[in-house]
Amino acid sequence: CSSDLLPATMKRLFRYAAVVIIGLLLAPLISDRRVFSSNKSCLGTNTVCKDTRGMAAVPRLVLWAWERPEDLRFLDPKLTGVAFLAGTVRLGPDGMSFRPRLQPLRVARETRLVAVVRIEVAANSVLDATKADKVAAAIARAAEAPQVVAVQVDFDATVSDRASYRELLVELRRRLPVSMPISITALTSWCIGDRWMAGLPIDEAVPMLFRMGAGQGEVSNWMRAGRDFREAACQTGLGISLDEPWQELPAGRRVYAFSPSPWTERSLHTLLREMQLWP
């Protein structure tokens, strides 16, 4: 190869490496991609078909599977989905890098998946328009993994970053199929007193009700008083953790649950018992 062709070749190789690696990690238990090849999915041996367009494709209970080995074959695919960390985007002074998931994820082939991409921005870097376009492309490629029915973007946006994250989400929406919903994780402050998410091209914002630090008491009092989140996008889902149980949470929401240790049938039952106590 000539010197000017080699960088382009390497870029193409890296561009598809993330999707290939994710696919290989999921491949042992995901052998039939036809399950989610259209707007209809047929689950189980009884061929129960249902419309999977938009967030209706995502079960009402979703377990987060972060960067560690997870064996979730015990889940009932009709009731529980998995939001797995597909990769991490890092933005630094030298540009953008994408680190794909390196730990195995084992699920039944009927399990519906949400591809989560974490965005980390170095202190001496910014998310400008050029980088936003590249990040959106990386997230869109992660959505091509088998059995993925939605994408979720996990990020921390300062006030000065918000315009760039809006551009990123607009570009991501343009790149994804119309039927592929976009979810984002959200600070509770965005959902209660901050309206910057209004008009974002997203289908869901998940308020993170754990690791809140100093804001824990304020949010607890807010919800104990029976008040809902002000931002409409935050009124359909909740993000919780097994090690920070809640006594009262709104019913009828999609629940994303995090566990500080690998998921087991026992930890799932603990979660379900906790959820039964909510009004």
Sign (positive or negative) of CA dihedral 220, 189, 184, 179: positive
Q: Could you give the CA distance from residue 168 to residue 99 in angstroms, rounded to a whole number? A: 19
Q: Could you give the CA distance from residue 223 to residue 216 in angstroms, rounded to a whole number? A: 11
Q: Could you give the CA distance from residue 240 to residue 68 in angstroms, rounded to a whole number? A: 19
Helices 129-142 & 162-175, crossing angle to 10 degrees?
Answer: 40
Q: Could you give the CA distance from residue 86 to residue 67 in angstroms, rounded to a whole number? A: 9
CA 186 centroid distance within chain: 11
Sign (positive or negative) of CA dihedral 218, 220, 221, 226: positive
Residue type, 117: V
pLDDT attached to residue 195: 81
Which of 16 and 157 is assigned the larger pLDDT?
A: 157
pLDDT attached to residue 50: 37
Take residue 202 and report the two structure tokens written for it.
């997203």
Q: Decide: residue 253, CB within 10 A, 0-12 exposed, 13-18 middle, 19+ buried.
A: middle
Per residue in 62-118, pLDDT (tens digit) is 999 999 999 999 999 999 999 999 999 999 888 899 999 999 999 999 999 999 999
Residue type, 174: R
**Local confidence band at 215 (pLDDT 50, 70, 90 cut-offs):** low
What CA–CA distances, in Å, run from 8 to 13, 96, 109? 9, 16, 35
Per residue in 134-149, pLDDT (tens digit) is 999 999 999 999 999 9
Q: pTM for this structure?
A: 0.80
- Average pLDDT of the segment spanning 150-156: 95
